[in-house]
Structure 1
Amino acid sequence: MDGYQEKKERNTVYSQRKTYQYRDSSQRSQKIHSGETIPQQSKDNRYKEGVYTRISTGKRNTDRRRSPSGQPARRRPRSAYGENRPGNTRARSGLREWEVLEQQNEREYQEYLERRRKRRERKRREEEIRRRKRKIAVRGAGGALAGVIVILLVYVIFFSNPVLGTVTVEAGTLDLQTENFLRKDAEAEFVTDMSQVDTSHVGEQEIQLNVNGKERTSTLSVQDTEAPKGEAETATVNVGGELSPDELVTNIEDNTDVTCSFKEEPDLSGVGTVPVTIVLTDEGGNTTEIESEAEVIEDTEEPVIDGVAPLEGFIGEPISYKSEITVTDNCDKEVELEVDTSDVDTETEGTYDVIYTATDRAGNTAQAETTITMKEKPQDYVEPEEVYAEADEVLDEITTEDMTLKEKARAIYDWCRNNIGYISTSDKDSWTNGAHQGFTQGQGDCFVFFSTAKALLTEADIPNIDVVKSDTSHSSHYWSLIDCGDGWYHFDTTPRSGGGEFFMLTDEELLEYSEAHDNSHIFDQSLYPATPTTDSTIE
């Protein structure tokens, strides 16, 4: 027996039981199926035949008659004789009514099942339609996306700008190529003069390129991500004096400009050693802290003025009074230097006094005096620019960028000794004329050797001071003092008949030779910086 038949029989039995159960109930509804109700009978649809009984009306009978003892009277048993009595007829009528209601209930139940089946079918069809629509939409979106990708690929390959919008490089980057600005291979050349592009500062610059015959623009962005480097250096300062943070740091290295500042302002109010922290900051905002010390003293020592020597000037030409002068101080790295030229008449030939005055931050003052000789400019005067160009040609042959200053000085000394011959005459109108003679003629006296070496030393960035023999009663002589990083030493390239090597000699060594060779190198030591007492140890 299937599930539907079981349900039908259960509902039938349930309906019969309920029908008989409720016959004696007044105005009670008769429930058939869940959700289905048979309406109550009214006076209009009751059976009219016979006496109203509980079968036909659904009302309760009146109370049974009782016996004189008060007990209910016994019901007389029914017999077959009374089967056709009106009461039995009404009972059969109630059964027929129940059958009609049962049939109506069955029809309504079948209609309910049909409606439910149709609803489910309709929902299934609607869900199928929605599923098909979703599938079509997904396929359409996928096709559209694939089409967009193809279009983008075609555009990028054939029509897009081959030049990158922005190119980012680290500060200090050199030798930029067109490939750095292209996103794909193309024929390109710079329109912008790349020799004028400065990558030593953080910022942006527009770069013009000609790519496949079209002018394109890219932005060069320079960034600095590396922190600066430096070494601590002890500084000496007067009590209550001023101290700059860059006086406590040396050998600063970075690809961009670096500023120095104090992490905390040092207290310089008392004598002693004060620890100081210096902060190095580059253009990219990168910082480095360096620990240093400041020695606070009572400064009573005056500055030292070096390089003061007789000068020569040409009438109508600019005069450089400070080019050979250096000033040092026990506390200050930079000392103010003043030149008193009030006695000099630059329009008249003659010899005039020049006074140098140096004052440090503590107020200590030093003075030095010399003379300047004014004369007419020679007709064959050689300009310094010409001499420096000749010196550069020689330096390109005898020096390299990785050489130290001392190594370059030695190369210059050897070149002058080996490439200039000694003769007793020279053009002494100016040092530039003497140097030009040495470069072009390869011969001359001590003035030519001195002048040629001076041009080479200056172009090699080696500090040098002109030294002139003080006692000229027997002969004149010229040479140099040089500083390769560990103090001033004597440098004389002129060969002498008495022999001798004059590469970086101390005062003591040079004066000892001078005394042994007829005062060959006697000079006024008060006009020049003192040399160290030991030989140079720098490489």
Structure 2
Amino acid sequence: MKNKKNIMIGTIVIVLLALGLFIYQKFVKQQLHFKDDLTVEINGKFDPLSYISEVEHGNIKEVTCQSKNLNIKKLGEYEIVYTYKNRDYEAMIQVVDTTKPVFNGLNDLAVSINTTPDLKAGVEVSDNSLEEIKYKIDDKKIDTSKEGTYEVTYSAKDSSGNKIIAKRKIEVIKKIGSEQQSNEKVVYLTFDDGPSENTKKIMDILAKYNAKATFFVTGRNQKYNYLIKDAYNAGHTIGLHTYSHDYQTVYSSVEAYFDDLNKVGQMVKNEIGFVPHYIRFPGGSSNTISRKYCQGIMSTLTKEVIEKGYQYYDWNGDSTDASGNHVAVDKLIRNGTLCHDNNVMILCHDTQAKDTTVQALPAIIEHYRNLGYTFKGIDDTTYTPQQGVNN
């Protein structure tokens, strides 16, 4: 009888212990554990499950979260509620701002002697708080009356006290380009719209004749961007044409043009380490299509690019390969050899559809070489053929 009583008491104890353990596990012991850092950046991405460090006896997919009270756009502390196995867990999430502002458009700048650079043009400062950030410029050391390399300091601070200081190199140089042709007989072969699958073929031909050229590149075919560096390393000149080559985008406003120019400049900088100051306008400075999108824009741009330290180049020789794709080789040779000025700048194109340009190139080079011309890439002393502005 006594044994039965002991067994009964033991059974009751075991049941009570099991029940107590269940209650402890279910209602007392915390089964959802959180990380130490419960912060999220203002206007950042909030992932509620990323704050959980451990889920006992289950899977994180079983956890739900109620975060409707969280305002990711405002600094402060917010309570959110996690639910796991019918039990709620409260967590306090802090919306913070610890990220510094970021400067965009601080490419190195080249300006001609006695030209005042516009140090604000194309420069933007952004911040994850999405507020408008003002910035300061320290340019006291620039002396544009003489050649030299100077450094400008840009600084900005957001409302949370996060500061950024950025440096920009300003190079004061002699006037870029020459309005007069030199007595030396030189051909400047120029190729717009690349890089492309034809760029390597063009460079192979140039190497065969020990000729240098200039590539005015775009951002339309970036899988071939490595060829920009290859061309530069081979001694060719890299110039800027356009990032998008969409006339409506480029010529919709002065601001839109420089936004596009800054993009292609940064793209080239990623390949060769600096932003070239040689440019060619889409359609040339004499284009009239820009009238359709912004009246008078070319009259403004041709002045402002010079003020910002760029030099633009049109052409006085034309292969006429822009007239269509797969233009007859004999036509390209005939048109590409018509100019006999001392300094000849020939317009050609470098895209997949300009295969006949590649085929015509050797004959064009041989024609001018037989007349005593050398072939160079554009530099700061190069003659700058410029056509009449028609808008």
Normalised by the size of structure 1, how large is the TM-score?
0.26
- Greater CA radius of gyration, 1 or 2? 1
Normalised by the size of structure 2, how large is the TM-score?
0.33
Q: Which has the higher contact order (CA 8 A, sep 6+)?
A: 2
